[in-house]
Structure 1
Amino acid sequence: MKRVFQYPIWLGELFTGAKSFKANPLIGNDYLNRYGLHVGRVWLAYWMSRLRMAMLAPGVPRADREQFQQYGYVLKESYLPESQFLALVKAVREYEGEIRECCQGDTNTHRILLAPEVLEQLPQVKAVLEDAALKRLFRYCAGHARLPICHIENVHNGSRKNDTVRDPQKNLHVDTFQPTMKFWLYLEDVTDENGPFVFVPGSNRPHRERLKWEYQMSLRAREHADRYTARGSFRVSQEEAERLGEGGPRPFRVAANTLLIANTFGVHARGNAEPGSSRLALWGMSRTNPFLPLPGLGFEYFNRLQYRVLQRMRRQEDARSAAKGKRSSWHVIEQRRL
């Protein structure tokens, strides 16, 4: 009887960014997906995103727009003037604040949430994120007027020596069925040693081969052995990656002070890295309801509110995990500097 009352909720989730084939029996329904439910959601989400992007295009350089639509990323080397960049790196490395950690396989990811009160203590970071041209580019690539949630991020590779489980982020995958924006402003050089971001150019578009693959995956995702695939973040083989884009996976080995914005509906991964290495960056992401036809208004109130919501969710997760004698997936650590 309980399941009967859940069906209206599951039905409503079809019109949101819900993606789990395991948690929602409608999203994972074999019959509905044979008749194109998942592929239809992919196709509609993409074109709704393109519609919103068109509304947000004014003021964004044409070259950036074309690169993002064609290849799925925007790359800007030597992004900041050298003096500004050096001041930014110094401020980030010296800042002391709450750090949360997520452990996946042998990788520990540390993040400092750049909530409004934190940005007030980091004017060098605030100056970068408040740049009008960058905000226009963020909004365009996200397809939404709300700005991304931003962090300072340090990825520590091979820091859990006794863990033989591979970091799942280092397997080629797509984040979800809808266009999603993530960015990195690298504060140090990115090489094969510390794990470059890997992306398949052109895999951001729902072309014929991509839709065919999405259809095939939708028929077996619910019972898939990989739990991330069952939850809607499909894992991609090397052979599939070659077919879904142009030229296969590309590692972004870039110098410090490079800005990278990517559509993580495209095939990507965190690159393999040497144990003990790390990668420091300003990092952020933006995701919205994929079926909204309008990009929203982008009021500053909502930009601030999303940080409050995330902070509250983290605290609630901390409390639930503590009650079970466990740590939350993103738990606070004693360390105060990245």
Structure 2
Amino acid sequence: MPRSRFLLKAPLWGLALFTGAKSFIANPLIGSERLNRRGLHVWRVKAASRIMRWRMAMLSRGVPTAEREAYLRDGYLLKQNFLSPELFARLKAELETVHDHGPGEVRECCQGDTRTHRVLLDPETLSELPVTKQVLADPQLKRLLRFCAGHRRLPIVHLEKVFNGARVSEEADPQKSLHVDTFQPTMKFWLYLEEVSERNGPFMFVPQSTQLNKGRLDWEYHMSLTAREHTNRYTQRGSFRVEGGALARFGLNAPALFRVPANTLLIADTFGMHGRGPAEAGNSRLALWGMSRTTPFLPLPGLGGEWLNRLQYRVLKAERARDDKRAAARGVESSWHVVTRDSSRGQDPS
């Protein structure tokens, strides 16, 4: 890169260190072996975690102590029989029709032999789904999600259907390898609408891997020195993949598989080491899915309110429309592209 261009962009790269930017190849400062050898990446990890703990403490009121302690200790929270049997039956009946009949558009992401379908449950779509709207409006659930996310803004929610072994691919599904999403705490949740086992792909998580103990920090330091030149493109972009033998080498726990019945709520911090477990080809699983990733160095838990909730969905839809337009100009599909319901069964037509 010409020196003049480097000097022009350097202030922006410097400011990005205090945002959620994570790519080791897009930002030469984040990817600098020299700076990371002196502790830049580990400092960002520590600072983001400490600030998140501070924000979570401000949002802890009304969340049972046992649930707070479990999430902070283990990096996840598991609640079976989350809804009453009657309410869960109504929720499942309502959402089982959404993927095939609407409302909302179906978007698909293809990774390896897996097709993942999601329907965005924005306020307009929820207005046609009264049971789902009731469940998501529950004050106790909202308090819990805000605490785990460390922010007053509620997560963006989708209906998610994962089709395993649904397409021919020479590449492996990157979600089926242990990894971390980013350097900062990130909350994701699943309310499973059907039983989950090795048949359809259980969630995989390394318990307590969100703890900033010596092993985890040593692993972060090690990865920060090699990420920019790593052979895995996801690691290069800041979503580190856990290499074989790393858990034992750095003294971390073995991964656990979450085989759970329907009507189980799982909330996980995907800064922890996690992945999609093994599954049999031709099987799928259906869940209410949500995610919240906030600005990592914001010391306060931000704003909430319905207006902000609506705004974040509008921003996401605008970003997807932009991605569609850019992909179309290149003659390809965007990573999350719209599929028609006639072709949204998740199976490879070949």
TM range, normalised to the smaller chain?
over 0.9
Which of 306, 311, 315 is the equivalent residue of 1:309? 315
- Runs of at least 5 residues in structure 2 that lack an aligned partner in the other structure: 346-350
User: How many angstroms does 1:246 deviate by?
Assistant: 6.0
User: How many angstroms does 1:237 deviate by?
Assistant: 2.7
Which residue of the partner structure matches residue 326 of structure 2? 320
Which of 165, 177, 180 is the equivalent residue of 1:171? 177
Which residue of the partner structure matches residue 334 of structure 1? 340
**3-state SS, counterpart of residue 121 of structure 1:** coil
CA distance in 1, matches of 2:251, 2:107: 34
For residues 134-183 of structure 1, the C-alpha deviation after alignment (integer angstroms, 9 at most, x for no partner) is 000001001111110000000000000x2121100000000000000000
Which of 87, 90, 97 is the equivalent residue of 1:87? 90
Which residue of the partner structure matches residue 237 of structure 1? 243
Which residue of the partner structure matches residue 55 of structure 1? 58
Which residue of the partner structure matches residue 32 of structure 2? 29
Contact 2:164 2:280 in 1 (8 A): yes
Task: Figure out how many residues of one structure are paired with residues of the other and give that number.
Answer: 337
For normalisation by structure 2, the TM-score amounts to 0.94
Contact 2:218 2:250 in 1 (8 A): no
Which of 5, 25, 38 is the equivalent residue of 2:8? 5
**3-state SS, counterpart of residue 245 of structure 2:** helix
Contact 1:112 1:152 in 2 (8 A): yes
Which of 201, 214, 218 is the equivalent residue of 1:208? 214
- Runs of at least 5 residues in structure 1 that lack an aligned partner in the other structure: none
Which residue of the partner structure matches residue 260 of structure 1? 266
Counterpart of 1:31, as a letter, is: R
Contact 1:172 1:236 in 2 (8 A): yes
Which of 224, 228, 232 is the equivalent residue of 1:226? 232
For residues 71-106 of structure 1, the C-alpha deviation after alignment (integer angstroms, 9 at most, x for no partner) is 000100010011111111111112213100000010
CA distance in 2, matches of 1:245, 1:138: 30
For normalisation by structure 1, the TM-score amounts to 0.97
CA distance in 2, matches of 1:187, 1:21: 37
For residues 248-268 of structure 1, the C-alpha deviation after alignment (integer angstroms, 9 at most, x for no partner) is 100000000000000000000
**3-state SS, counterpart of residue 20 of structure 1:** coil
Contact 1:172 1:268 in 2 (8 A): yes
**3-state SS, counterpart of residue 261 of structure 1:** strand
The RMSD of aligned alpha carbons is 1.3
- CA 1:3–1:31 in structure 2 vs 1: closer, same or farther (change >3 Å)? same
Contact 2:190 2:287 in 1 (8 A): yes
Q: Which stretch has the larger CA shift, 291-300 or 223-232?
A: 291-300
CA distance in 1, matches of 2:229, 2:170: 25
